Amino acid sequence: QSALTQPRSVSGSPGQSVTISCTGTSSDVGGFNYVSWYQQHPGKAPKLMIYDVTKRPSGVPDRFSGSKSGNTASLTISGLQAEDEADYYCCSYAGSYTWVFGGGTKLTVL
């Protein structure tokens, strides 16, 4: 079970959009529609931002959206705000009630 592949860092200016990719295999991302995304600010616990590839929990701004194509899932953040600066992790169901996280992406708001 290898970690999903995410870019180590992305950046954008306030108001812009950024997309974070998460690449796995047909045994995880490509095989199931159970990808979730988590935001983690320094020193804080992770927070659920997207689940089941595209669904947003209540309270998460609609600036956050998720998608998937083949073995790659993506998180898009539109209308970037300073408070979006954080680490982002994808997570995929990998069968037999096991999960795998991505390596994480540091988002910098310029």
Partner 1 sequence: EVQLVQSGAEVKKPGESLKISCKGSGYSFTNYWIGWVRQMPGKGLEWMGIIWPGDSDTRNSPSFQGQVTISADKSISTAYLQWSTLKASDTAMYYCARGSGTYPYFDYWGQGTLVTVSS
| Sites of contact with partner 1 (CB under 8 A) | 1, 3, 32, 34, 36, 38, 40, 45-48, 51-52, 57, 87, 89, 91, 93, 96-104
Give the C-alpha separation, 109 to 106, whole Å: 10
Nearer to partner 1, 85 or 87 (CB): 87
Nearer to partner 1, 19 or 46 (CB): 46
Q: Is 29 helix (H, G, I), strand (E, B) or coil?
A: helix
Nearer to partner 1, 1 or 13 (CB): 1
What is the four-CA torsion angle of 35, 104, 4, 21, rounded to 10 degrees?
A: 70
